[in-house]
Amino acid sequence: SQQGEEDPQALSIQEGENATMNCSYKTSINNLQWYRQNSGRGLVHLILIRSNEREKHSGRLRVTLDTSKKSSSLLITASRAADTASYFCATNGNNRLAFGKGNQVVVIP
Amino acid sequence: DADVTQTPRNRITKTGKRIMLECSQTKGHDRMYWYRQDPGLGLRLIYYSFDVKDINKGEISDGYSVSRQAQAKFSLSLESAIPNQTALYFCATSGGGEQPQHFGDGTRLSIL
């Protein structure tokens, strides 16, 4: 089955810096989604990129998708303390999502 | 009020007990999902349902069963709980297609 794999697993940055996370997957997809999880809470959808799209923006988020390399990246610009969370990519290939293991991001004020 | 509500939020129980986790939603979505989350393993799909009469196994359904009582309700049961089912369990809903999934805040289940 499809499986997103994020890299790196943990990231610690200063407030104002950019944070970049990568995700790779193994099979064909319809779209790829990124979710955020704050400690003790459920996942919250951030952004979706379709398989025929290469880049998408939403506020301070920028996601790229390279289907030839089966990889995606999520960039958070000008990070804030409130961005501290775990971030998961999820591939959608058959009306089901396959989640990666997640990236923990800590933004230091 | 939360759109996706899970009960209980925390549960500690003993090996061999039958456990039911409940999920209800007010989003009017047809699709509902149960996941478990373990440290370092991300989320894994247990069961999913695309409508009231549709139930499908996910990647880790052994030891679990589900019931879709209504469009708004989807419960997960552990017939005879074992310690390696200790995990964080999430219910999610979606409207299908490219619509994102909406998650509850989870049930933390500990089996002693």
HEC per residue, B73-107: EEEEEECCCCHHHCEEEEEEEECCCCCCCEECCCE
Best A23, A88, A97, A104 member to test B by mutation, with max B CBs in 10 Å, is: A97
Whether residue A44 and residue B105 make contact (CB cut-off 8 A), yes or no, is: no
pLDDT at A9: 76
The set of residues, in sequence order, having a beta carbon less than 8 Å from that of B40 and lying 6+ positions away, is A101
Whether residue A33 and residue B59 make contact (CB cut-off 8 A), yes or no, is: no
pLDDT above 80: residue B2: no
pLDDT at A4: 59
Best B7, B23, B30, B43 member to test A by mutation, with max A CBs in 10 Å, is: B43
Residue of A nearest to B97 (CA): A95
Q: How confident is the model at residue B33 (pLDDT cuts 50, 70, 90)?
A: very high
CA distances to A8, A12, A98, B45, B65 from B58, rounded to whole Å, are: 27, 34, 10, 5, 11
Q: What is the mean pLDDT of chain B?
A: 95
Q: Smallest Cβ distance to B41: which of A92, A97, A101?
A: A101
pLDDT at A2: 33
Q: Residues A76, A51, A100, B109: is their CA dihedral positive or negative?
A: positive
Q: What is the mean pLDDT of chain A?
A: 91
Cα distance between residue B46 and residue B66, in whole Å: 9
pLDDT tens-place string over residues A30-55: 999 999 999 989 999 999 999 999 99
Question: Which position has the token pair 């699709």?
Answer: B31
Q: Residues B4, B5, B10, B14: is their CA dihedral positive or negative?
A: negative
pLDDT at B66: 98
Q: Mean per-residue pLDDT for B81-110?
A: 95
Give percent of chain A above pLDDT 90: 78
Instruction: Count the neighbouring beta carbons within 10 Å of the beta carbon of residue A11.
Output: 17
The distance of A44 to chain B (nearest Cα, Å) reads 7
Best B5, B103, B108 member to test A by mutation, with max A CBs in 10 Å, is: B103
Q: Mean per-residue pLDDT for B96-100?
A: 88
pLDDT above 60: residue A1: no
Whether chain A has a CB inside 8 Å of the CB on B96: the answer is yes
CB-based burial label for A107 (10 Å; 0-12, 13-18, 19+): buried
pLDDT at A7: 59
Whether residue B42 and residue A102 make contact (CB cut-off 8 A), yes or no, is: yes
